[in-house]
Amino acid sequence: MPSLTDQRMLITGGSAGIGFEIARAALEQGARVVLNGRDAARLEAAADKLHVPFVAGDVGTDAPAIMASAVEQLGGLDVLVNNAGWGRRMTLEELDADVMHEIWRTNVLGAALMAQAALPHFEVAGAGALVNIASTAALKGYAGGSAYSSSKFALASLSQCWAAELRPRNIRVLQVNPSEVQTGFGGRDLSAGMNPRKLFAEDVAHAVLGALTMHPRGFVPELTIHATNPWE
């Protein structure tokens, strides 16, 4: 099985949750990682825990600068994990145009701009992997999900478009759809502890790295992750 040893990886939204656990697991497999996030203090604390470099910035506005700094620190790029994202429940009556615009700016435009910035570096390397962390909200809408779910549906479309464009250039595009994951996403309060039957961020990391270590002759275009039995 191919290894992640010395693979150069940039992970957006890497200061906590799924991004942080992907970074931790990738490092254990020998990858070289740069973390990105918007909150510089929080990002630096996460990078210190993992002993990795970082670059603060907003993917929706700073993508070229983020990529340039990461590539300078890594000496190139083999894997981009588009994990930065956020959401807020809003019914149709509650829909706030400014909030919806900001969600789309990060979750859709930010992912697109980061992928665009990564492309020249993948081409220099002769191959690459682009991982889009979507959601089961990319597969089915729900009450209150107009802003967030629609952004993830859009990311799913982008993933399919990019796969069609980039496969002839040896660039693999993987969309990952986690169901509910126990992180602080959406302002969740985890102070009461974790439910051992529901998904942990490390479960998503395991799935992502499993797909990345598949032989480059094949790729997994889409991967959905559910807890086996979260109800008992």
pLDDT tens digit sequence for 75-115: 999 999 999 999 999 999 999 999 999 999 999 999 999 99
The catalytic residue among 20, 104, 148, 162 is 148
pLDDT of 127 higher than 70: yes
Q: What is the DSSP letter of 228?
A: S
pLDDT of 184 higher than 80: no
Domains of the chain: 8-225 (3.40.50.720)
Sequence-distant (6+) residues with CB within 8 A of 30 are 3, 4, 5, 6, 7
The mean predicted confidence, pLDDT, of the chain is 95
Catalytic site includes residue 142: no
CB 163 within 8 A of CB 221: yes
- Choice among 9-13, 54-58, 108-112, 192-196 with the minimum mean pLDDT: 192-196
CA angle 194, 197, 199 (to 5 degrees): 75
> Is 0.75 topped by the overall pTM?
yes
CB 188 within 8 A of CB 143: no
Q: What is the DSSP letter of 135?
A: -
Give the separation between CA 184 and CA 168, rounded to whole angstroms. Answer: 38
pLDDT at 193: 80
Which strand ranges, in their side-by-side order, compose the sheet holding 171-178?
A: 54-56, 32-37, 8-11, 79-82, 128-133, 171-178, 222-225
Q: Residue 81 CA to chain centroid, in angstroms? A: 5
